[in-house]
Chains A and B, each alone.
Chain A
């Protein structure tokens, strides 16, 4: 493996570590900073790929990762946390962090093996399994967390996984920049609009299953 490939794989491992950290944290502030760090690392990786491949599209994706997912959205989320004390910690998740962390590690290992057994020959890039693992980790977070801000973080992690996969496996995927812009718009809609409506209407994020929505 040459130095450039090692660098890409190394940053990829850093991204995976942030994903595992996110699974084992129940305080929302560190979670927001964790996803910002993950997006920043992804931005660095995309920037390196853009430079090495002389790709404008990848450079735009790097800029988007840093500006929107490492900057804008975490900043808005941080303001939400400061405004509302109940957003500080995910109470229910706090009692299950060990289980979350173990499940996250187990899922990462399973996803890695599944990738190696099915797609590794088609995508032989160093660290090729990492976007796949990241996608599974994002889904786990969405499925297991109840706090709306933490769910936004799960969504952002999924988006990072898709961008990571696109840059690694299909850098010439048509309209990829537009697709990512669209995902970012949706992320902003999530945090900017629906969280605000939730604040206006319900005043609380962790109300559990509302009775009318049961069944």
Chain B
């Protein structure tokens, strides 16, 4: 057994959320909430310790951590913790919930556990099980608010995501047939020859896992599930579920080594740019603000994939973008949850003048929207800038132009609509935001501040890990 990695931290990452899931089911008031909070904080602590010690190595044949999984573990557990905290307030505003608080918290912890497990597995088959398990654990959370649209969204999510993951399983079958192993370490140690089955496996993995990432045209579940889920869960969907699925693809992509064959690079570039553009244009015509943010997540995943395809400094930028976006988007969804519980609607045209009706939430929402759409000096801006620079340096001028177009369109769309809701004058058709007052948005401010910190300072440990993660794929920091 190789013991170069802190086993205690890995053990804690796996046991804290799973134990919290079990304890949450105890039918005593406050136990489920406390168990979920403790579980999320313990797992965050374990993830931070892995990041600080720059842990890298294996524990037995199936578990391990490196810079890339370390960064995502930190991101997942951070959003898990803030969403758990935010859930308490949000649950109070849900009338006739379909799930009891005990079941809700248990599923929330199980959802986090499945993502953490997927990130810790070093076997592609187990990683696939982890990603598929995220569907099972999260599907029921979507129906919390008992709306027919929620049920339909849960149904579409389960079915489409599972169909995509079946294709990913086909990809793993092809890869195994050609290489005889699914261990990410063995594949990295002895990279397979670039044969047709390996290329097909990577392409099918892109389609399969891409379904869960929300890549066009397999994205159709995404706006439904993200908009219908309760806001803390929407935050986890947009902020960390999509990157976790992208991570699973990256582990398959990694077998190609560096340089990546042109055919696969072009495929990624096409999927990335088309997804970013489709997401950016579709978010313009949304009537629901939660749906608009869902399409924004789709756009950002497209941007990140574009950066990965270009490689080098752009890949480093893509990783920064993914982490900063997770914090910014979760903040945006917490604000969206406040507005929904305050006004009782998700319709953009029914919400106005939040600056006086819900001033704290309104201000946080403006900041979160700017952060989400890559306004300077947030981390998302830095990530997007590096991708553009990388694209130009690689001679992909047309890709850089389309990339900038997607950013520009999404920026105008999201900030224009949020600006109207926050600063627009209240009219007869708009709803008063008095039902639950302005509950404050401390968690949203916290996450926006982190997205800002990524952009304005070289955060210790995180920056080191981001550089190391980019280096795994031949990418580099400036």
CB-based nearest A residue for B181? A174
Question: Which residues of chain B are near A1, meaning CB under 8 Å?
Answer: none
Question: Which residues of chain A are near B148, meaning CB under 8 Å?
Answer: 201-202, 207, 210
Contact between A215 and B163, CB atoms less than 8 A apart:
no
From B153, B158, B177, B227, contact of A186 by CB (8 A): B158
Interface bin, chain B: 35 or more
- B169 at the A interface (CB under 8 A): yes
Question: Which residues of chain B are near A185, meaning CB under 8 Å?
Answer: 136
Contact between A119 and B197, CB atoms less than 8 A apart:
yes
Q: In the docked arrangement, what's the CA distance between A57 and B469, Å?
A: 37
- A162 at the B interface (CB under 8 A): yes
Contact between B125 and A148, CB atoms less than 8 A apart:
no
The 0/1 profile, CB within 8 Å of A marked 1, for residues 352-386 of chain B is 00000000000000000000000000000000000
**Shortest Cβ distance from A14 into chain B, in angstroms?**
22
CB-based nearest A residue for B62? A175
Determine, out of A63-71, A72-80, A87-95, A191-199, the stretch whose residues face the partner at the interface: A191-199
Question: Which residues of chain B are near A148, meaning CB under 8 Å?
Answer: 155
Question: Which residues of chain A are near B38, meaning CB under 8 Å?
Answer: none
Contact between B173 and A166, CB atoms less than 8 A apart:
yes
Determine, out of A5-13, A16-24, A27-35, A151-159, the stretch whose residues face the partner at the interface: A151-159
Identify whether the interface residues of A are mostly helix, strand, loop, or mixed: helix
Identify whether the interface residues of B are mostly helix, strand, loop, or mixed: helix
**Shortest Cβ distance from B54 into chain A, in angstroms?**
30
Known: A118-B200, A213-B149. A186 touches B155 (CB 8 A): no
Known: A122-B177, A142-B159, A186-B136. A159 touches B152 (CB 8 A): no
- B170 at the A interface (CB under 8 A): yes
Question: Which residues of chain B are near A161, meaning CB under 8 Å?
Answer: 166
**Shortest Cβ distance from B258 into chain A, in angstroms?**
25
Which residues on B are within 8 Å of A, measured CB to CB? 98, 123, 125-126, 128-129, 132-133, 135-136, 139-140, 143, 146-155, 158-160, 162-163, 166-167, 169-170, 172-173, 176-178, 182, 196-197, 200, 223-224, 227-228, 282, 285-288, 291
10 contacts between A and B (CB under 8 A): A122-B178, A162-B170, A175-B125, A175-B126, A186-B136, A190-B159, A194-B151, A197-B151, A201-B151, A210-B149
Q: What are the nearest 8 A-B pairs in CB distance?
A: A202-B148, A158-B166, A175-B125, A212-B149, A201-B151, A170-B177, A198-B151, A213-B224
11 more contacts with CB within 8 A, not counting A169-B177, A186-B132, are A118-B200, A123-B177, A135-B167, A165-B170, A165-B173, A174-B125, A189-B139, A189-B158, A201-B148, A210-B148, A215-B286
